[in-house]
Structure 1
Amino acid sequence: MNTHFKTYHPYASPFDPCKPILEKTYSTPPHLYMGFQPPNLPQFTPLEALRAGTLWKDFYDPWYNSLEKAKGGLPT
């Protein structure tokens, strides 16, 4: 199973004066997990596509930073 969120553990020096961040998370776009674009994918309306940044709903990936709660849906 593929997940759009990956984590990694950066090096934390014992001499770093700040508290280290032991685990970092990043998002990967959905198109990385599709080998090809299947025919007849559902599409956004033209206005929704401009807001989403893609015409196809399967390629839409809302990005939220780690401090925001994911709301889902299209940006307003």
Structure 2
Amino acid sequence: MNTHFKTYHPYASPFDPCKPILEKAYSTPPNLYMGFQPPNLPQFTPLEALRAGTLWKAFYDPWFSPLEPGKGGLPQ
């Protein structure tokens, strides 16, 4: 199953002076998982489209930080 949040584990050197971040997360846009744009996709109104950054609702991605689990980020 495709998810919009991916995680990876960067290399942590034993000689780093700071505590390493063991897991990092990033968001992938929804258009990566659509091979083509189907006809008759639902659309935002013009004002909503300006706020969302896209005309089509299927391509909207409200990115939230992984540190904000209540807003759709990664579960802690």
For the superposition of Structure 1 and Structure 2, which TM-score range results when normalised by the shorter chain? 0.7 to 0.9
The two structures, once aligned, show a CA RMSD in angstroms of: 1.1
Aligned to 2:49: 49
Matches of 1:66 and 1:33, distance apart in 2: 21
Aligned residue pair count: 71
Aligned to 2:18: 18
TM-score by length of 2: 0.88
TM-score by length of 1: 0.88
Aligned to 1:61: 61
Aligned to 2:9: 9
Runs (4+) of structure 1 moved beyond 3 Å? none
User: What is the percentage of aligned positions where both structures have the same residue?
Assistant: 87
Matches of 2:67 and 2:24, distance apart in 1: 12
Gaps of 5+ in 2: none
